């Protein structure tokens, strides 16, 4: 029997890449989605309904399941952070997972492995050149506090999973979706300006590598928290330089003042304006090999699409 992997939010950016990879490796994937009617399943991929806000789920999703991967969550960069949206960002990650845990406990369901997404927002919305590792303390802002609670809830999945792993993920670079198309759009128009000081670090990871990392976790007896970022983060100014060079644009124009971005987007501007360098030695020491360790190679691939 091929192993069965349940993925919440499997319809999103990382989920789709992971599902494609798992299917190529002969896994069977069951996706928990709020909108199963939008998708047509195949032998390898099927869709099941859930609604954490009403505490409803199609419990058949767990029949014979080996592992659960939790990727669901309202997009952090999609909207202004009103109090309502902040509650949705938190609830869709934390309350949804607590609901799954409770459902599994009440129904005597257990899996061998739980893998939870987390984010490098854990380290706080700050900029300095001090490299962070997994054991460093969290920040104190909204995103950092959210991430701490998200990871604590993931750890509580030990009640229903033999092994629990957490991937503290950096900015996922994909040619068509997520942050990358937005980041390079101004460059396509010839606007090669770093955002803010340009000294903030961009802890990026190529979409293929984050999908491969989830697969690696499923294939190896690893638990604990791992930074999921490439081994070579760059400053935002360096990102613009490398991207402009690849796109044949002159670099660099004067920076876009951070205060302007903060005025336009509010507190979520910190996602683009702040960043510390993050180390991913722990996952590499565990044997994971990046396909795209350097930004130059990643951009060559992403810009050729
Ligand atoms: N992409 C990145 O750069 C990045 C970086 C760091 C961390 N992460 C984390 O990794 C996880 C996956 O990221 P992603 O980029 O693949 O996310 P995504 O593309 O935004 O997709 C996440 C999925 O979550 C589900 N979802 C959205 N709103 C929801 C809600 N209110 N309640 C329940 N489910 C909801 C959706 O599935 P349905 O519509 O099918 O229900 C959606 O497809 C997220 O937790 C994200 O925060 C991502």
pLDDT digits (tens, 9 = 90+) for 242-296: 999 999 998 888 888 999 989 999 999 999 999 999 999 999 999 999 999 999 9
149 belongs to a structural domain: yes
Distance, CA of 17 to CA of 266 (rounded, Å): 31
Percentage above 90 pLDDT, the chain: 91
CB 85 within 8 A of CB 79: yes
User: How high is the pLDDT of residue 152?
Assistant: 98
CATH number of the domain that residue 50 is part of: 3.40.50.720
101 belongs to a structural domain: yes
Nearest CA to ligand 1 atom 11: 71
- Ligand 1 pocket: which of 8, 9, 182, 217 to mutate (most atoms within 8 A of CB): 9
**Which of 26, 34, 20, 37 has its CA nearest to residue 66?**
26
- Ligand 1 pocket: which of 32, 70, 73 to mutate (most atoms within 8 A of CB): 73
11 belongs to a structural domain: yes
Q: Which atom of ligand 1 is nearest to the CA of 205?
A: 3
Distance, CA of 238 to CA of 143 (rounded, Å): 25
- The two structure tokens encoding residue 78: 């999609």
Pocket residues for ligand 1 (CB within 6 Å)? 9, 11-15, 33-35, 71-76, 88, 92-93, 96, 117, 119, 169, 171-172, 178-179
**Which of 21, 9, 234 has its CA nearest to residue 117?**
9
Query: Look-up: residue for tokens 């459902």?
Result: 103
User: How high is the pLDDT of residue 305?
Assistant: 82
Mean pLDDT across the chain: 96
Q: Could you list the residue range(s) of the whole structural domain that residue 127 is in?
A: 4-174+203-230+278-290
Average pLDDT over residues 173-186: 95
pLDDT band at 228 (very low <50, low <70, confident <90, very high): very high
Average pLDDT over residues 199-204: 98
Average pLDDT over residues 18-25: 98
pLDDT band at 7 (very low <50, low <70, confident <90, very high): very high
Q: Model pTM?
A: 0.97
CA distance to 59, 64, 90, 169, 172, per residue, from 46 (Å): 13, 14, 27, 26, 25
265 belongs to a structural domain: no
- Taking the centre of ligand 1 as the mean of its atom positions, its distance from the CA of residue 158, in whole angstroms, is 22
What is the number of domains present in the chain?
1
């Amino acid at each position: 029997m091929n192993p069965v992997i349940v993925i919440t939010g499997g319809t999103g950016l990382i989920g789709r890449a992971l599902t494609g990879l798992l299917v190529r490796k002969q896994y069977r994937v069951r996706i928990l989605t709020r909108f199963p009617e939008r998708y047509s399943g195949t032998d390898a991929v099927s869709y099941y309904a859930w609604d954490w806000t009403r505490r409803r789920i199609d419990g058949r999703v767990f029949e014979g399941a080996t592992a659960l991967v939790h990727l669901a969550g309202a997009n952090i960069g999609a909207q202004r952070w009103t109090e309502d949206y902040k509650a949705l960002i938190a609830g869709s990650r934390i309350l949804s997972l607590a609901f799954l845990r409770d459902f599994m406990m009440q129904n005597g369901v257990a899996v061998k492995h739980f893998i939870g997404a987390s984010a490098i927002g854990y380290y706080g919305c700050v900029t300095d050149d001090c490299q962070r590792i997994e054991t460093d303390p969290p920040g104190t802002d909204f995103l950092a506090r959210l991430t701490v609670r998200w990871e604590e809830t993931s750890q509580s999945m030990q009640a229903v999973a033999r092994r629990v792993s957490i991937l503290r993920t950096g900015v996922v670079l994909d040619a068509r979706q997520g942050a990358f198309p937005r980041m390079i759009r101004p460059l396509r128009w010839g606007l090669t300006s770093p955002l803010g000081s340009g000294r903030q670090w961009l802890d990026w990871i190529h979409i293929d590598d984050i999908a491969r990392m989830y697969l690696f976790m499923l294939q190896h007896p690893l638990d604990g928290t791992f930074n999921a970022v490439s081994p070579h983060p760059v400053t935002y100014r360096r990102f613009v330089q490398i991207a402009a060079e690849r796109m044949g644009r002159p670099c660099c124009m004067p920076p876009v003042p951070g205060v302007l971005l903060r005025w336009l987007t509010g507190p979520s501007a910190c996602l683009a304006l702040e960043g510390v360098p993050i180390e991913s030695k722990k996952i590499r020491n565990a044997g994971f090999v990046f396909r795209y360790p350097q930004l130059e190679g990643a951009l060559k691939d992403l810009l050729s699409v």
